[in-house]
Amino acid sequence: MCQVFLAFVCIIGILAASSPVQHARGIRNFNTNQLIQVTGAHKFVSATAADLRGPCPGLNALANHNYISHDGVVSVLDAILVSLDVFGFGPDTGVVAGILSLYGANLPLLDFSIGNSPGGLRGILGIIFGKGGGLSGTHNQFESDSSATRCDLYEPGCPDNYTPLGDRFGALINLLEQNPDPKANFDVIIQHRVNTFHHSVQNNPFFFYGPVQMLVSCIIHTLIPALMSNHSAEYPKGYLDVDGLSSLYGMNRGRDGQFRYTRNERIPENWFGRPRDDPYVGLTYGLPDLLQMWTKYPETFIIGGNTGEVNSFTPLDITDFTHGVYSAESLLLGNNAACFAFQLVQILTPSILVNLEAILAGLLADVAAVVGEQILALACPTLEAMKLESLNQYPGYKKSAGYGM
Ligand X SMILES: *[C@@H]1O[C@H](CO)[C@@H](O)[C@H](O)[C@H]1NC(C)=O
Using the rule CB under 6 A, is 286 a contact of ligand HEM? no
Among ligand HEM, ligand X, none, residue 164 binds (CB under 5-8 Å by kind): ligand HEM
The span from the first CA to the last CA of the chain, in angstroms, equals 26
Using the rule CB under 6 A, is 265 a contact of ligand X? no
Closer of 52 and 383 to ligand HEM (Cβ): 52
Using the rule CB under 6 A, is 220 a contact of ligand HEM? yes
Phi and psi dihedrals of 75, rounded to 5?
-75, 150
Q: How many residues bind ligand X (CB under 6 A)?
A: 8
Closer of 233 and 405 to ligand X (Cβ): 233
| Measured CA distances, 93 to 220, 366, 394 (Å) | 11, 15, 27
Write the binding mask 41 to 70 for ligand HEM: x where contact by CB under 6 A, - elsewhere. Answer: --------------xxxxx-----------
For residue 212, the minimal CB distance to ligand HEM (Å) is 11
Burial degree of 17 (CB within 10 A; 0-12, 13-18, 19+): exposed
Which member of 130, 134, 244, 250 binds ligand X (CB under 6 A)? Answer: 244
For residue 403, the minimal CB distance to ligand HEM (Å) is 15
Which member of 53, 70, 131, 150 binds ligand HEM (CB under 6 A)? Answer: 150
Which member of 113, 140, 230, 346 binds ligand X (CB under 6 A)? Answer: 230
Among 70, 104, 2, 93, residue whose Cα is nearest residue 290: 93
| Shortest-Cβ-distance residue relative to ligand HEM | 58
Using the rule CB under 6 A, is 230 a contact of ligand HEM? no
Contacts of 307 (CB under 8 A, 6+ apart): 314, 393, 394, 395
Write the binding mask 84 to 123 for ligand X: x where contact by CB under 6 A, - elsewhere. Answer: ----------------------------------------
Closer of 55 and 182 to ligand HEM (Cβ): 55
In the chain, what are the helix, strand and coil shares in percent, each to the nearest 5?
Answer: 50, 5, 45
Amino acid symbol at 77: L
Q: How many CA atoms lie within 13 A of 374 on its CB side?
A: 26
CA separation for the pair 5, 337 (Å, rounded): 18
- Among 90-98, 257-265, 350-358, 378-386, which window interacts with ligand HEM (CB under 6 A)? 90-98
Closer of 53 and 122 to ligand HEM (Cβ): 53
Phi-psi region of 285 (alpha: psi -120 to 50; beta: other; left: phi over 0): alpha
Count the Cβ atoms, other than its own, within 10 Å of residue 333. Answer: 11
Among 189, 237, 178, 185, residue whose Cα is nearest residue 217: 189
The residue ranges that bind ligand X (CB under 6 A) are: 230, 232, 241, 244, 268, 270-272
Q: Which residues bind ligand HEM (CB under 6 A)?
A: 55-59, 79-80, 83, 87, 89, 94, 97-98, 101, 135, 142-144, 147-150, 164, 216-217, 220, 223-224, 227-228
